[in-house]
Structure 1
Amino acid sequence: MSGYLTTHILDTARGLPAEGINIALFKIENGERQKIAETVTNSDGRTNAPILPAEAFEVGQYELVFFCGEYLENHGLTGGNLKFLDDIPIRFGMDDPAAHYHVPLLLSPYGYSTYRGS
């Protein structure tokens, strides 16, 4: 069985899944970023399919970029003229070729957290 990568976004300020946020996935090699996938979150704050499915999975360094600024602005969560948070990059490594990696984003207007989920 080959590994794969999934993600989701929870809006912790509103207590809801974060729908309609664009996400890009980059592979990092020799310090260079190459975009390999992009998607948008559904009504459950998840992507409709793994952002990196088993058939495309490779171990290595990756970066997810969550484009949250517009979402925060649309929900009145920016708190001022300038967004405190806008694009949120999370760089991580995957070294088990058979594992399911899950990298969620817990989002609020002034902070975020992530973890390796299941």
Structure 2
Amino acid sequence: MTPVSSVSTLSRRVPVSVRMAALALLAGLAYGAAMTGPAAAASNDWRAGCDYKAAPQGYGDSIRYNNCMHQSDCQRMANAAGTTMYSAGCFGVAPDAPAAPITQRPSR
């Protein structure tokens, strides 16, 4: 078996400083390629994930379905109250539209 050291000559060897510079350049390019722009924000509308046509039969889907029904109930209560709900298991559920101000009838 021929050892590598006898085949390779030291005169053709790349200096350590050049190898380190090449390694640093390669690492910098890899880091730059890995950097991507910020991801688009996901919508915070809960209805997008709760598009059930019928009650699901699987256990995991049943849990998600129950959570969607609870969120729907919370949304209805928040809309009826006109304020953000912090009761009945509804934490921070805002109404869809702000409540209309209560006006008095004009006196005659």
- TM-score, length basis structure 1: 0.16
- TM-score, length basis structure 2: 0.17
Higher RCO (CA-CA < 8 Å; seq separation 6+)? 1
User: Is the strand fraction higher in 1 or 2?
Assistant: 1
Larger radius of gyration, structure 1 or 2? 2
